[in-house]
Structure 1
Amino acid sequence: MPEIVEKDYNIDIHGHKFNRWAMLLLILVGTFGSMLMQTSLGTAIPTLMKDFKITMSTAQQATTWFLLANGIMVPISAYLANKFRTRWLYVGAYVILFVGMLMAYSAPTNNWTIFLAGRILQAIAAGITMPLMQICLVNMFSPKQMGAVMGIGGIVIGLAPAIGPTFAGWLMSSRHIFLGIVLPASWRTMFMVPMVIVLFVTILAVFFMRDVVPNRPVKLDIISLVLSFAGFGVFLWGFTNVASDGWLKLDTVVAPIIGGIILIFLFGWRQLRMDDPFLNIRVFKNRQFALTTVVMALSTMAMMGVEMMLPLYLQEVRGLSAFNSGLVLLPGALMMGLVSPLAGAAYDKVGAKPLAILGFSILALGTLPFLFFGIQTPEHWVTTLYGLRMFGVAMVMMPMTASAMNALPVDEVADGTASNSTARSIASAIVVALLSSVAQNIILNNSPATSLAKIDLIGFSDKMLKAMLDGYHASFAIGFAFALMGLVLGIFLRAGKHGRASKIELPIDEKVKVEAELSERGTL
């Protein structure tokens, strides 16, 4: 019987050695730039409302449309990863990201459409790079290293969205000098800095990126592509309209959501009937993968919901500037970056279940006081609780990602990553649209009549602040509910660490001999 040789993770698909740690660093920096765009507008929304002369629900479209386009794009990531070379797929995604940032940066204030188009291009790039990062990590590192490596990846997936509001607030606070260029205190600046970083990463990717994901001649099923784009797109579009139209608007909310669900069902039904599906949703038959994906989606919803509403509370109710509201959130963002690698290493030792229970417990305890925030709530109290929340999120997110990926055989990782990322993107889009719509509807329904401002300005201001507090309290309550749901589901995760075996690399003729010998022994 021939000697079984484990895969050499330092060799690319062409048989050439490469420095996987250098490639990992390049991937992390590039993906960080795309993920940073996901939440960076949180502290800039009040400024965008003034400059573009738009309402809060319209300004929130910059986030919801980003998440919508991202959610549409992610299902195709498995096809792209299998079809195209890793290096050129990354380069193409970075070019799209750069163009999207440039469009948003240069958008005139009388044309909100150009700004949104730039955000959509950024989302398309993020929809490629974020799942591709996870696929590459699985092909670059052994299962024994997966927890620690995913923990490092958590610096991107968790820290980038977490630090986005602080980053934007800092850039908008005053003028800055970057590479010898004076940057004005403007929302445009938050696109300029990542643009320069992405440009450098794109150039370096041409020379240092390697092809690590095995390619195969997959066929693009046009019907599945149309059903995916239309289903997820229409479904999420319906949710983005809730903030402006309410829940009962038939043509822009109810019909799109129901129609999207029908199209998504048809998409899933078609995938199950295909020999080579566009998106292999059979991975959800794996109980551990399915459960960890749902748990991770809930942690994303608990994080994103409060992530987007807290800067509005700090600026609109507490009266903080964009910079100061960003500073309040900074310790929480740093906590996310610090704890993610530690949580990944802890997963390698104890598995996902205890970390999920602990993480969601901390997340719930950190979110509960948000329901009682008032006009005079001390900033240090908000900072402490937000940091506690991000500690809990970090304890959940990367261990769940590693657990989900390790639950699948290596040849299903691309499909598993696409399915996992799709669920997370859809969850993010839904929760942002849901919380912003709930907050705005409550604020509008409880706002005092404008005529009161002429009679009693102080009374009008007090009632307006109370209406805003009621709206934000409701959105924070929904975030708390997601944390409790995640805690309950975490109890049902399997105990221990369940990693897959390393893939065995054997020549075809030797593999046949091994299988024949095992068959004769009755062990195959």
Structure 2
Amino acid sequence: MSETSQDMHGKPINKIAMMALLMIGSFVIILMQTSLGTALPTLMTAFNVDTATVQWLTTIFLMVNGIMVPVSAYLNTRVPTKALYLAAMVIYIAGTTLALVTPSQHDYFWMMMVARALQAMAAGIVMPLMQVVALALFGEESRGKALGMVGLVIGMAPAIGPTLSGWILDKDHSFLGLTLAGDWRSIFSVVLPIAILVLVLSIIYFKDVLPTSKVKLDIRSLIESTAGFGLLLFGSAMVSDHGWGNFTWVIAPMLVGLLIIAEFAWHQYHMETPFLDLSVLKNRQFAITTALVCLTFIAMIGVEMVLPIYMQQVRGLTALHSGLSLLPGALMMGALSPIAGSYYDKHGARNLVIFGFSLVFIGTIPFYFLTETTPTIYITTLYTLRMAGIALTMMPLTSSAMGVLMQNQVAQGTAVNNTFRQVAASLGTAILSSIMQNVINNNTPANSLKVRDPLEYGQNMLNASLDGFHATFLCAAGFVLAALILAFFMHRGKLNAQGKKG
């Protein structure tokens, strides 16, 4: 496939401008996935809500995002590219503006929930759209390089989010002429003008590069997709509050969700034009690489969640300093993603992925031996090594998955790949967080010791926390080891859609 130089209407495309706008707009949208994590304690005080309530700002984002990703395949096929991207930016700007003007009162917390849902809708649209557009703008020989640029956004934005919000909340300063006085609203005011600028420029430079057709929306599939993935993600999000044994909030929603998803999958296989074409999973190489992408995200998101907690609770670092300690890892991922894409274009993914997962495994195992006095520079070095490995696996895997599909399957394949990745990240986070909490609970000293010997109680509580972190890191290493083994089953070199080496 030659590089696309004209849009669907025969008009010339400024590919550099279009790709830059796509990446910048997607970056500020995906940034919101993790940016509020550091600000949750501040929001608890501002809205006078408890921990369980404020966590819904994260839960609602994951749920709505996960629901929207399967819908993206239909939207990419039905809605012109430019209109879809502009709509995503408008939705994001509306959500961010709503969050910015929400009064800091308990009775208005629902407005923050709506704002987060709107932001998640935008994220669910742009993540798959960014990949499909990148593949359309660049030829098959540049597929890895194009998705390497996409990796800058998908990998770096969630990693930088906590650092950015920690920096904003830490002290008074200004940015783009705005006064940031350590207020939670500043998290939204920083990205809003960038999003508006991207929207304005996209009206000029963004073009329709994906073919569309008047595909009829299958309401049954939409309802089943929304209910099935929504309940599954809801149940997994409730694990941290209620544990895996809770039937009402965890087991029942996940079980019903899985049953609906099973019916949804059966329905898709019997449709002439599927809402989400799961038949792409019959392609062995697509299925293997998609499974590896899921394991990559579990390895990345899980440790990104646990490590800041360790650094703040055990090491006593501030949110800003814990975020800054992990920033080199995010920058390393950004630097290596395009390089990994270029390597894939020449040599394929297998050797690169095996080497990458080896680095992730080597960088994860030492976390099992962390203590309350482990030097911060040691943690930063290990985390940077892990992120280097993830950068060498994520986009080459995605490129490899898309490379074995026909051009008319790319939008559906991207939706399937992103759906599985989103669900895996949610379930993986639930598994790792529950392991950490269960081990801590099982090793927490008796309250009577707090009165009898406060110093010993404090030390035992610290040891219980460390045991929880150690168990979590060991589990994460297990996921990485499984990925490393599975990577040996990948094809050598590059395969095209006909299964021939390219």
Q: What range describes the TM-score normalised by the shorter chain of this pair?
A: over 0.9
Is the Cα–Cα contact under 8 Å of residues 43 and 325 in structure 1 kept in the other structure? no
Deviations 1:214-259 (A, max 9, x none): 1101010000000000000111111111111111111211111111
Alignment partner, residue 330 of structure 1: 327
Give, in whole Å, the separation in 2 of the partners of 1:299 and 1:494.
18
Q: Which moved more, 1:36-45 or 1:51-60?
A: 51-60
Is the Cα–Cα contact under 8 Å of residues 243 and 441 in structure 1 kept in the other structure? no
Q: Residue 210 of structure 1 aligns to a residue in which SS?
A: coil
Q: Which moved more, 1:95-104 or 1:301-310?
A: 95-104
Deviations 1:453-474 (A, max 9, x none): 4443323322222222222222
Give, in whole Å, the separation in 2 of the partners of 1:444 and 1:8.
56
Is the Cα–Cα contact under 8 Å of residues 64 and 429 in structure 1 kept in the other structure? no
> How far 1:124 sits from its partner (Å)?
1.1
Please say if 1:260 is aligned against 2:257: yes
Alignment partner, residue 296 of structure 2: 299
Alignment partner, residue 71 of structure 2: 76
Alignment partner, residue 9 of structure 2: 14
Change in Cα spacing, 1:454 to 1:477, as seen in structure 2 (3 Å) is: same
Alignment partner, residue 282 of structure 1: 279
Deviations 1:242-286 (A, max 9, x none): 111111111211111111111001000000000011011111111
Matched pairs, number: 496
Give, in whole Å, the separation in 2 of the partners of 1:403 and 1:109.
49
In structure 2, give the amino acid aligned to 1:147.
G
Give, in whole Å, the separation in 2 of the partners of 1:344 and 1:444.
44
Give, in whole Å, the separation in 1 of the partners of 2:437 and 2:99.
25
Deviations 1:64-123 (A, max 9, x none): 332221111100101001111111111111111122223334442525443333222211
> How far 1:56 sits from its partner (Å)?
5.1
> How far 1:50 sits from its partner (Å)?
5.0
Alignment partner, residue 178 of structure 2: 181
Map 1:482-493 to 2 at 5 A.
Answer: 482-493=479-490
Alignment partner, residue 28 of structure 1: 23
Alignment partner, residue 410 of structure 2: 413
Map 1:491-510 to 2 at 5 A.
Answer: 491-500=488-497
Please say if 1:238 is aligned against 2:264: no
Alignment partner, residue 511 of structure 1: none
Alignment partner, residue 60 of structure 2: 65
Is the Cα–Cα contact under 8 Å of residues 439 and 471 in structure 1 kept in the other structure? yes
In structure 2, give the amino acid aligned to 1:34.
I
Give, in whole Å, the separation in 1 of the partners of 2:105 and 2:375.
35
Give, in whole Å, the separation in 2 of the partners of 1:8 and 1:358.
30
Is the Cα–Cα contact under 8 Å of residues 349 and 494 in structure 2 kept in the other structure? yes
Give, in whole Å, the separation in 1 of the partners of 2:496 and 2:141.
8
In structure 1, give the amino acid aligned to 2:184.
W
Is the Cα–Cα contact under 8 Å of residues 172 and 186 in structure 1 kept in the other structure? yes
In structure 2, give the amino acid aligned to 1:77.
S
Q: Which runs of 4+ in 1 moved over 6 A?
A: none
Match of residue 206, structure 2, among 184, 188, 209:
209
Alignment partner, residue 400 of structure 2: 403
Is the Cα–Cα contact under 8 Å of residues 299 and 486 in structure 1 kept in the other structure? yes
Match of residue 468, structure 1, among 465, 470, 475:
465
Give, in whole Å, the separation in 1 of the partners of 2:323 and 2:90.
29
Please say if 1:172 is aligned against 2:164: no
> How far 1:43 sits from its partner (Å)?
3.1
Give, in whole Å, the separation in 2 of the partners of 1:312 and 1:343.
30
> How far 1:324 sits from its partner (Å)?
0.5
Give, in whole Å, the separation in 2 of the partners of 1:315 and 1:52.
23
Q: Residue 179 of structure 2 aligns to a residue in which SS?
A: strand
Is the Cα–Cα contact under 8 Å of residues 73 and 128 in structure 1 kept in the other structure? yes
> How far 1:46 sits from its partner (Å)?
4.3
Change in Cα spacing, 1:8 to 1:472, as seen in structure 2 (3 Å) is: closer
Give, in whole Å, the separation in 2 of the partners of 1:477 and 1:186.
37
Q: Residue 215 of structure 1 aligns to a residue in which SS?
A: coil
Alignment partner, residue 118 of structure 1: 115
Is the Cα–Cα contact under 8 Å of residues 39 and 308 in structure 1 kept in the other structure? no
Change in Cα spacing, 1:210 to 1:416, as seen in structure 2 (3 Å) is: same
Is the Cα–Cα contact under 8 Å of residues 62 and 116 in structure 1 kept in the other structure? yes
Q: Residue 10 of structure 1 aligns to a residue in which SS?
A: coil
Q: Residue 497 of structure 1 aligns to a residue in which SS?
A: coil
> How far 1:359 sits from its partner (Å)?
0.7
> How far 1:188 sits from its partner (Å)?
2.8
Is the Cα–Cα contact under 8 Å of residues 57 and 243 in structure 1 kept in the other structure? no
In structure 2, give the amino acid aligned to 1:89.
L
Match of residue 439, structure 1, among 436, 444, 447:
436
Deviations 1:350-401 (A, max 9, x none): 1111111111111011011111111111100010000000001000001001
> How far 1:410 sits from its partner (Å)?
0.5
Is the Cα–Cα contact under 8 Å of residues 66 and 229 in structure 2 kept in the other structure? yes
Answer with 1 or 2: which has the greater Rg.
Answer: 1
Identity %: 47
Give, in whole Å, the separation in 2 of the partners of 1:479 and 1:56.
25
In structure 1, give the amino acid aligned to 2:33.
Q
TM-score computed with the length of structure 2 as normaliser: 0.95
Please say if 1:92 is aligned against 2:52: no
Is the Cα–Cα contact under 8 Å of residues 81 and 213 in structure 1 kept in the other structure? yes
Change in Cα spacing, 1:402 to 1:21, as seen in structure 2 (3 Å) is: same
In structure 2, give the amino acid aligned to 1:43.
T
In structure 1, give the amino acid aligned to 2:129.
L
Is the Cα–Cα contact under 8 Å of residues 7 and 13 in structure 2 kept in the other structure? yes
Give, in whole Å, the separation in 1 of the partners of 2:318 and 2:414.
39
In structure 1, give the amino acid aligned to 2:115.
G
Give, in whole Å, the separation in 2 of the partners of 1:370 and 1:492.
28
Deviations 1:155-211 (A, max 9, x none): 001111122222222112211212222111133322221122111111111121101
